[in-house]
Chains A and B, each alone.
Chain A
Amino acid sequence: MLLKRHIPLLIVIVVGLITLFGHFIAHEGVNNFVKNVSTEWFDIIASFAIFLGALNMMKLHIKKIFNKRRNWQYSILAVFGFSFAIFAGFLYRGAYYLSISDVNAGKTSIVSNIIAEEINESNPLIIQHKLISSKNDYKIDKIYITKESSILLKDKLDPFVENIKIKSIDWGSHVQTEGSLFYWMFFQILNPLSATMFALLAFFVASASYRAFRIRNFEATLLLVSGIILMLGRVPIGDLIPWWMVSIMIVFGIGAISAPFLNERKTLFGIVGGGILAFIVFGILMGWNQNPPELLSIPSIQSWIFDYPTAAGSRALMIGIGLGVIGTSFRIILGIERSFLGE
């Protein structure tokens, strides 16, 4: 009980209070702890949480393979993917580059040409200048995933250079460096998979809006109209929609909003038909073909809806969420909220 409940609660309360009141205490040590040290500890422990999540997931997939549960064959791919990432991250760096020094006399131009061709530099003189000005090792600006690829260039340079070393980027930097196996894995495998997962949603959003967006009641109509206006107004095509079409859309919109409140269909058709006619006649008389008013421009309507009613709704949500967050945070700091303990 003491170890499983009271000590975690004590940790939560102490850490929460220090972090909260650290803003109000003008002491360098406390401020340094709150702003720098404690947040670094947070990152470290959060990193271990990531390790836990990854390892736990692999444990589940491995169990699935051994127990031969449904679709266990796909779990092999999951384990393979994980293992490949670990291999590229911890066991095989790649990211080889060549470092040369002591170019044979009179061969600088030839060496520059070879390097320029390799790195797709159109002007070999730039390479030559860098070679001459580099006192010791000149690092060739191309990174190879495999050592064999770098040896191909080494062989070309061997007759003209005394000293060629094949080096590799430091461990740690290799996860961010183009030319490492990890980088290749990220851009050629992980990125297409992740980007396409997101892109897939475009199709489902279209299908969902087609099936679910119905003018069932006033609230649903508001949602639908606001969504449509935004989709049209935010893209260039919104500027091309003429004033008379916008008038028709406004009248239809008014008809859609008032439809749930009207029992007589004739009244509804009368409003819609009369409205369209009135707009068009008035527009022709006022010369809106040349200078349509801002009100009849979809982007302007969209802009107003976004800046005012939408902002109001967003603000209400933001304040509501904020109140929820500080309420929950306060409960956690006081030890009232214990769901994180599994209670």
Chain B
Amino acid sequence: MISLEIFGAWLAVLLTLCILSFLYDDNPFYKAAEHLYIGMSAGYALVMAFWQGVRPNLFGRLWPQIPTDENSSLFQTIWYSIYDFFNLITTGFGIFDRSIFPEGGIPEYDEIKLIYLIPFILGIFMLLRLVPKVGWLARWAIAYIVGMAAGLRFYRYLTSDILAQIQASAVDFSLDWVGVINGLILFIGTLTGLVYFFFSSEHKGSIGTLSKIGIYFLMIKFGASFGYAVMGRISLLIGRIDELKQFSTSEYHYATPILSIFIIICLAIWTFAGKGVSREHSVS
């Protein structure tokens, strides 16, 4: 009997090798793994957004777990009957176990906050984008998100990214000559880099010269970014190969070598037999 752990290891190795097979060519293994990844990622994101975001922060505020007895108000009774109705739908009218809407309300908060009906309604409007006739209602929800992000970021970018950085660009002349030169390099690089991005004037004459110096600093920056990008990607590749190495031992029934040979054989068959046929079909 194969344990779930061994099965999981073989699955992980198979999927890793399917993605890596793209290095040979765009093949069915890769396409299959890619589509599986797309679908599962979407599902994962939806599940996490619900359990981590919507359920505690929205439903938990609208229907918190508060004691209900004979003294509960009429409003509370009607309100929680809506909750029970939602539960009825999500359990398939009793077919499935109670999951999303537990008995008596959602634990975490202790007070009903009806103001959270506003994001609930805006959220529903967002989903109505799927219905062409009323899809325009999503604009209201998008407007809230865009407005909030704009207001939030305006102040923070101004303080941390602009004012603080301009302040930091000032040269400290009290340092030794090496420090002063380095400070001047930082100042000139920052200023000329900014001049390069100033497109309201033509880059001619002195602005052209400053802009050109700015490009040089930016090129050095992009070269460094490239170097770090290579470093990062290689690190991730090392991580994957290390895991494949881990799964090539007898503990995991030599998953890596066996599956590697399997994929290579399949790709060879696909190359010499199937690929020629499929290319003709795709052309016609």
Contact = CB atoms under 8 A, between A and B. Distances in A.
Interface of A: 3-4, 7-9, 11-20, 22-23, 37-59, 61, 70-71, 74-75, 77-86, 88-91, 93, 145-146, 149, 171-172, 175, 182, 184-203, 205-206, 209, 218-220, 222-231, 234-235, 305-323, 325-326, 328-330, 332-333, 340-342
Given A44-B116, A51-B46, 4 more contacts: A15-B147, A20-B150, A45-B141, A47-B123
A187 to B, nearest CB: 7
A337 B139 CA distance: 14
Interface string B20-31: 101100000001
Given A77-B36, A333-B147, A320 B233 contact: no
A309 B220 contact: yes
Contact of B127 (A14, A48, A321, A323): A48
B182 interface: yes
Nearest to B152: A19
Contacts of B43: 54, 81-86, 89
A192 B45 contact: no
B270 to A, nearest CB: 15
A50 B15 contact: no
Interface in B183-202: 185-194, 196-197
B224 interface: yes
B161 A42 contact: no
Contacts of A184: 4, 8
B260 interface: no
Given A308-B186, A340-B143, A171 B102 contact: yes
B145 A49 contact: yes
Nearest to B44: A85
Given A7-B140, A8-B139, A223-B222, A86 B189 contact: no
A81 to B, nearest CB: 3
How many interface residues does chain B have, given as a range? 35 or more
Contacts of B4: 145-146, 149, 184
Contacts of A201: 233, 236
B143 A312 contact: no
Contact of B150 (A16, A186, A196): A16
Contacts of A44: 53-54, 57-58, 116, 119-120, 123
A45 B119 contact: yes
B40 A82 contact: yes
B123 A48 contact: yes
Chain B interface mostly: helix
Contacts of B42: 53-54, 57-58, 81-82, 85
A146 B3 CA distance: 11
A23 B32 CA distance: 50
A308 B185 contact: yes
Nearest to A58: B42
17 contacts: A9-B143, A81-B43, A175-B51, A190-B37, A193-B19, A197-B19, A223-B226, A227-B227, A309-B221, A313-B189, A313-B193, A317-B221, A319-B165, A322-B157, A326-B154, A332-B150, A340-B142
Nearest to B10: A188
A41, A44, A235, A311: which has the most chain B beta carbons within 10 Å? A44
Given A89-B43, A196-B240, A332-B150, A322 B162 contact: yes
B59 to A, nearest CB: 10
A14 B147 CA distance: 8
Contacts of A203: 23, 237
Sorted nearest first, the 7 A-B pairs with minimum C-beta distance are: A312-B189, A85-B43, A316-B193, A19-B151, A313-B221, A226-B223, A81-B39
B96 interface: yes
B36 A175 contact: no
Contacts of B32: 74, 77
A78 B185 contact: no
B168 interface: yes
Contact of B239 (A40, A195, A231, A235): A195
A308 B40 contact: no
B165 A315 contact: yes
Given A16-B148, A199-B239, A175 B154 contact: no
A6 to B, nearest CB: 11
Interface stretch (B71-79, B81-89, B211-219, B261-269): B211-219
Contacts of B206: none
A15 B144 contact: yes
Contacts of A311: 186, 189
B130 A55 contact: yes
